[in-house]
Amino acid sequence: MSGLESKTKPLNDAKTQGLHFILHFFKCSYYVQKILNRILYRRSEKSFFKIPKRSTISIQIRTIFYINFLLMDIHIQIINEKEIETIIPLLTKLNSKTPLKTLTERVLEMSKASNYECAGLYVEGELVGISGLWYSTRHYIGKSAEPDHVVIDEAERGKGLGKIFFNWIDHHVQSKGCEAIELNAYVSNPKSHKFYYNEGYNVYGFHFLKVLRDDKKFY
């Protein structure tokens, strides 16, 4: 996995055709699904994505899900500064309070900062996830990265993409010398809290913010 780019490799054509053939003709067979599951377990254990060995979902549904996952064309890279405005549609889903003009101006200004970059998660060539990355050196932890404005398109959630994305981020920021990752999460988003706990993050304090603008509004 390189520092700037990662791509999951689909199965070769022969395996792809074979798996589609099996799914089409044997998808109702318990034993065939069980064998396929074991094959997928062995494949997944060699990669960074771990498939849970126990699940309440039926073997048939899990097998179809995992095969579809393995066939997905997933691509992660740092978004070029010239293309930074492509993150705006996803960013507006996270930040609906900020006027579009203001949001665009801020994103353009952020992209010029020397300690900022934005990672993009692409599925089948379409941008479905973003995370800004701010770099700094803190007296209490050393060089660290802060994921910011983390968004996965709602239609793509529940597919394990968030785990893949953050695994890539871990390796990417480590390759840049970071010793830690710290982030903020809205208190109104408990699902994100659960995700971050599962990824090994701990709560060490509160995030305070004071608006200095005359209107005293958060946007």
The architecture CATH gives domain 74-198:
3-Layer(aba) Sandwich (3.40)
pLDDT in tens, the chain (219 residues): 444 444 444 444 444 445 555 455 444 445 555 555 555 555 444 444 444 455 444 555 565 566 666 678 899 999 999 999 999 999 999 999 999 999 999 999 999 999 999 999 999 999 999 999 999 999 999 999 999 999 999 999 988 899 999 999 999 999 999 999 999 999 999 999 999 999 999 999 999 999 999 999 999
What pLDDT was estimated at residue 49? 44
Q: Which two tokens stand for residue 13?
A: 């054509």
Do 129 and 153 form a contact (C-beta atoms < 8 A)? yes
- Taking each helix axis from N to C end, the angle separating 30-45 and 13-26, rounded to the nearest 10 degrees, works out to 150
What pLDDT was estimated at residue 59? 58
- Residue ranges of the domains in the chain? 6-71, 74-198
Q: Which two tokens stand for residue 30?
A: 């318990």
What pLDDT was estimated at residue 31? 54
DSSP the chain: --SSEEEPPPPPHHHHHHHHHHHHHHTT-HHHHHHHHHHHHHHHHTSS-PPPS--SS-HHHHHHHHHHHHHS-EEEEEPPGGGGGGGHHHHHHH--SS-HHHHHHHHHHHHT-TTEEEEEEEETTEEEEEEEEEEEEETTTEEEEEEEEEEE-GGGTTSSHHHHHHHHHHHHHHHTT--EE-----TT-HHHHHHHHHTT------------STT----
What pLDDT was estimated at residue 183? 96
What pLDDT was estimated at residue 2? 40
What pLDDT was estimated at residue 3? 41
- Whether the model clears a pTM of 0.85, i.e. scores above it, the answer is no
Categorise residue 151: left if φ over 0, alpha if ψ from -120 to 50, beta otherwise: beta
What pLDDT was estimated at residue 20? 52
What does the angle CA 201 – CA 117 – CA 122 come to, to the nearest 5 degrees?
A: 80
Residue type, 172: H
Compute how many other C-beta atoms are within 10 angstroms of the C-beta atom of residue 5. Answer: 12
What pLDDT was estimated at residue 218? 92
What pLDDT was estimated at residue 62? 60
Distance CA 78, CA 45 (A): 27
* Chain CA centroid to CA 148, Å: 12
Q: Which two tokens stand for residue 50?
A: 């771990």
